Chain A
Amino acid sequence: MSDILVRIDGKEVEASQGMTVLEAAQSAGISIPTLCHHEKLEPFGGCRLCIVEVQVGDWMKRVVSCVYPVEKNLIVRTRSEMIDKIRKMILELQLAHAPDSPELLDLAQEYGADKDRFDKEASFCIHCGLCVRYCDEVKKKNAVGFVDRGIRKEISFIPEIAAKECWNCKECFPLCPTEALQAAFVLTKSLTSPPLSHEPSSEE
């Protein structure tokens, strides 16, 4: 497939068909903030933090770069007053859920987001889906999944699978931008340990 030329923040970038704007930017060393993106996983488009402005001809729109495919003559702006404002708002909303997340706090500083802007609703999880998707797509264990929806959506381990698989893996822990994942796992562990206290580390 022939290369596609796009312009990101004034820089000519060569991309190939099927690449996302985020990938093209990253290949040129241009950084776009992300929370739900992981190179090993399918694009998800959940956190919306990677929002950018794209322009084809006279037509400008805002898209999330981690799912938006490159196209010919695309002009991308990764920062603008509006984009920064949107990112600030997203961060402030997420910080209401996970006020102590170091990753969010770093970003908040960059975008001038006030972590106390909204009333705290400490659910800790920001629904980035990294843990759920990693366990599914990479590890193929599906030990953890989402339950419920909307404001009640949360992650939940399947105790039987977690008891068998998670002790030795825990690869999702460092992916989590908040502490929610670990907390959920500790909870599951405490619930499953009475009957399954023989840690089946040798079984696998």
Chain B
Amino acid sequence: MSGNGNSRVSSTESMDPKGSDERSIVNIADVRALGQEAAERLVAAKTQEALRFEAARWLGGDGRLRRLFERMKQIEPAERKAFGQAINGAKKAIEAAVAEAESRLRRDSLARELAVAPLDITLPGRCGAPGTFHPVLATGRELIELFRSLGFEAVSGPQVDTYGHNFTFLGFPKDHPATDMQDSFFVAGGGAGDARLLLRTHTSNVQVQEMHRREPPMAVVSAGAVFRRDDDITHSPMFYQLEGFHIAKGISFAHLRGTLTRFVQALFGADRAVRLRPSYFPFVEPGAELDISCPFCEPNRSCRVCKDSGWVEVLGCGMIHPNVFEPAGIDYERYSGFAFGLGVDRLAMLRYGVRDIRWLYANDPAFLSNFPAYVAGGA
């Protein structure tokens, strides 16, 4: 409201034929009339800007009241006091009128803001939809976090590895049907025998990697893609596994059971029963499969998941076999350890009710849209 404002005031003034000239005002009545006029004009102001303009015109540094004050010396000394009081009175009245008009305008403006036509609040936001998570990766990440909370360190391992790391160092007998359980993809360019390259058939190669790299004690968990030459409704040539193992002095079967029970209950709820039954994996002994009481059974209904057995197989586990310790140079008499491996896909399929494993890796946009990555979502 400095220089610019003044020039605008004067230009408007000249365009205002009804505007009284303060130079002609000589008595108190005129001052009062001036105050009256100001009040009327302020009341008439329709916008904040017009109000500001009017207020400056009357009250500003170069405003009309100011000019009236300047005329004080021309007034008879006897009338001066009364004249001054009149001007002050007019000033107060104008100030009050300005305040009143300001508050009226603010009210009007808010009222207008509130009186707009209602928005269609059901239309979507500008671009707020989240992306989607992958059910297998999300499950894998959750499992990794769970095992980290039990003290396991998360690492990754190579997907292309040698026959030795994938089979021989894990105690798979040569030319034994145990290797039939895991039909491999071989990769060109490796050596022969144990040096032959393949896509790992399980994440257990991480055991070999870490045992050769570290000294016990160690507790390690690793998840990732594994590969077997199978492609049908229950087999995908690539799928996801998670491997964990804990090697220290005095580790026993009880620790295997304790750790895995803790894990299952964290994942599926504290009321899940856990059952270990003997099984065979070349790299563990005693070997076991871990079943949990079926979380999907409903009373009086046939259960597709457990086929009414009441148990769902979750993972394979066992005490690490001496055949695995020995090539890694770990003394089997001093140290012991347990290991476990689970199918992350399988858990994801159980969790999300996916019926065909191949859907997991087809990346169909419609399928993936089943898994929106909401903050309040599951993953």
Whether A associates with B in a native complex is no
Contacts from A to B (Cβ < 8 Å): none
